[in-house]
Structure 1
């Protein structure tokens, strides 16, 4: 209950701050929507030259992209740790974090939240509804619960991978290009993995499991039975990777020696 209370207090203060600068908030939301629209246009351009992509039609690819946007929006709302090295290690803000009676990772998540990114959830669901209507998909009464579990698993996978990358800073405060590179790799998860070669499929499934953020869970709703096992593994992979990320983070914190050391 203490952590829940802290979350709502931070969220309340964040909303008050964003409402003070309404124009900036609107511009950020618009830029996010524009970025998502550009990606959608890219899919449409690709299918302007072909009817199928490795056995997937245009509406199915659009549905996968829409599903991908939902866990991705949750990730970008709460795991903005791409500048963790500069802000918390080099500038020494980690010293402040460690003096407070709350887990350091949870505190950083609260400090860096960007709740306006949650509009991506609405965009993703709207795209899924459109694609689903074109495909004639129907839902069972339990599908919303499965959807929530799959989305949570996908968001945890994304957050876990970037938490592990941020943890590297506890051992080395030198700048790396891992974060931008990983953002680019993560984009592969919004497309069916069977369009890639075997090595890339293996990496996107078991090493950097971004496929569990988009194509595998979306395949459940598309009725692709050959991917059902992977869809069921999505929450499991999310929990496993999150536990691993927290363990690495906790070990890294013990190696932290303060700014300038």
Structure 2
């Protein structure tokens, strides 16, 4: 209960701060929308030169991209920790975090919360509705619950990977460029997995399972029965990778000796 109360207090303060600078808030939302539009245009350009992509039609890939945007938006909102090493380890703000009787990762998540990134989820749902209408997809009443579960699973996959990467800072106090690299690799999860070679498919499924953020869960709603097993593994992979990330984080916190050492 304490954690929920803290979350809403932080969220309230966050919105008060953002609304003081409405121009910056609007510019941020527009820039996010522009980036999503550019990615969508790229898909349209690709299908301007081909009818299918390894058996996937244009609307199917667009639907997949729309699905990807929803868990990615949740991840971007609550796991905005790309600068964790620089801000909390090198500059010593982790010392402040550890003086409070709340789990350190939860505090970092609250401090780095970026609520306007949730707008990406709305964009993703709109894209899914557009593509789904073109495909004449039909859904059952329980699909909304499966959608929520798979979205949360995909967000936890992303969160688990990046929390694990951030935890490396507890063992190394030097700056690293691995975060931007991993963001770029994560983009592969928004496209059909079978367009890649076997090594990349294995990497995106079991090592850095970004395919569970977009292609695998979206396959269920697209009726791709050959991928159903992977679709239903999405929440499992999310829980496994996020649990592993928290364990790595906790070990890193135990090792941490402060900015002055």
| Contact 1:153–1:239 (Cα < 8 Å) also in 2 | yes
Aligned to 2:99: 99
Aligned to 1:30: 30
Aligned-pair CA distance for 1:138: 1.0
| Contact 1:160–1:241 (Cα < 8 Å) also in 2 | yes
1:260 and 1:31 map into 2 onto residues whose CA distance is 39
Flag structure 2 segments of 5+ consecutive residues without an equivalent: none
Matched position secondary structure for 1:76: helix
1:55-70 aligned within 5 A: 55-70=55-70
Matched position secondary structure for 1:99: coil
The answer to whether structure 1 residue 9 and structure 2 residue 18 are counterparts is no
Q: TM-score, normalised by structure 1?
A: 1.00
Aligned to 1:76: 76
Aligned to 1:156: 156
Aligned-pair CA distance for 1:177: 1.1
Aligned to 2:165: 165
Q: Deviations over 1:37-59 (max 9, x none)?
A: 00000000000000000000000
Aligned to 1:215: 215
Matched position secondary structure for 1:165: helix
Matched position secondary structure for 2:176: coil
Aligned-pair CA distance for 1:260: 3.1
Q: Deviations over 1:139-195 (max 9, x none)?
A: 100000000000000000001100000000000011111100000000000001100
Aligned to 1:132: 132
The answer to whether structure 1 residue 47 and structure 2 residue 12 are counterparts is no
1:105 and 1:120 map into 2 onto residues whose CA distance is 24
| Contact 1:66–1:124 (Cα < 8 Å) also in 2 | yes
Aligned to 2:111: 111
Aligned-pair CA distance for 1:196: 0.2
| Contact 1:220–1:231 (Cα < 8 Å) also in 2 | yes
1:239 and 1:142 map into 2 onto residues whose CA distance is 21
Q: Deviations over 1:98-155 (max 9, x none)?
A: 0001000000000000000000010000000000000000110000000000000000
2:99 and 2:10 map into 1 onto residues whose CA distance is 18
Q: CA RMSD in A?
A: 0.4
2:20 and 2:176 map into 1 onto residues whose CA distance is 35
Matched position secondary structure for 1:160: helix
Matched position secondary structure for 2:80: coil
| Contact 1:90–1:260 (Cα < 8 Å) also in 2 | no
2:260 and 2:216 map into 1 onto residues whose CA distance is 44
1:85-96 aligned within 5 A: 85-96=85-96
1:246 and 1:101 map into 2 onto residues whose CA distance is 17
Flag structure 1 segments of 5+ consecutive residues without an equivalent: none
2:21 and 2:98 map into 1 onto residues whose CA distance is 30
1:198-213 aligned within 5 A: 198-213=198-213
Q: Deviations over 1:56-113 (max 9, x none)?
A: 0000000000000000000000101100011000110000000001000000000000
